[in-house]
Amino acid sequence: MAKIVRSAFAVITALLLASPTGFAAANEQAHFVEPKLYVTKGGTAAPQVALTLDACSGQTDLRILNTLVENRIPATIFVTGRWLRRNAEALAVLKAHPDLFELENHGLNHVPAIDDQPTMFGLKTAGSPEAIRAEIQGGADAMQAAHTLKPIWYRDATARYSDDAIALIHAMGYRVAGYSLNADMGASLMAPQVEKRLSAAKDGDVIIAHINQPSRVAGEGVVKGILNLKQKGFRFVRLEDAQESEKPSQSGV
């Protein structure tokens, strides 16, 4: 036992010596901004939420898309250039329902807009302001090539940003698409967990989930949670159709 303790102490000491500021440096490197976003509350008679769905890459979860179309449920879809190239049929469905779907910029290759640390949740970050700008502009160019409307919102991969990235996104004329309720944690949760989280949405929440993981069970939970909210009398709004705020708003504000 004493040998194990000595070994652990040696490892910790080596880590501290490797960096002049020890664990403090690791904490500083881990800094990022995770913006919150809400829409105006509809009140007890007509509570409302904004459903935002990320189409990062890969394919399309038709369980979710078909549910939205069949139930006339509006949503804001954040698309990457990678997803646009691979999902022409789903894109055609989205464009065929402009009254339901608002398409916004999720970047060209799904790269986190972070320039002060190498990775975020296992994804390689942009690493520099120039790379962040290229990722944002590349996404916008891909949307233009797909003949969609000009985007006004930007959400990066992981929805986390360095401070410089936030300033750059604003300087490029975009609003940063935060959220207040993470329904599926990157489509990593089991269906019952997603359903429970989504069903617990409050009036004014901006919900984030994913529409690009058809092989994962999380999509089933997204569908059930959406239908539960509809059954409760919730109204779904797109970001472009509602007044947004970084703080929960009061009904009628």
241 confidence band (pLDDT: 50, 70, 90): confident
Q: How far apart, in whole angstroms, are the C-alpha atoms of residue 130 and residue 147?
A: 26
Each residue's pLDDT tens digit, 129-169 = 999 999 999 999 999 999 999 999 999 999 999 999 999 99
Cβ neighbours, 10 Å, residue 240? 14
Q: Are 75 and 236 in contact (CB under 8 A)?
A: yes
The two counts, helices (H) then strands (E), for the chain are 9, 12
pTM for the whole structure: 0.85
* 120, 126, 132, 137: CA torsion to nearest 10: -100
247 confidence band (pLDDT: 50, 70, 90): low
CATH architecture for segment(s) 33-245: Alpha-Beta Barrel (3.20)
For the segment 98-121, the average pLDDT, to the nearest whole number, is: 94
Sign of the dihedral through C-alpha 220, 233, 181, 84: positive
In the chain, where the domains are located: 1-30, 33-245
Q: Are 207 and 201 in contact (CB under 8 A)?
A: yes
What rounded mean pLDDT belongs to the chain? 87
**Which amino acid type is present at position 18?**
A
Each residue's pLDDT tens digit, 156-213 = 999 999 999 999 999 999 999 999 999 999 999 999 999 999 999 999 999 999 999 9
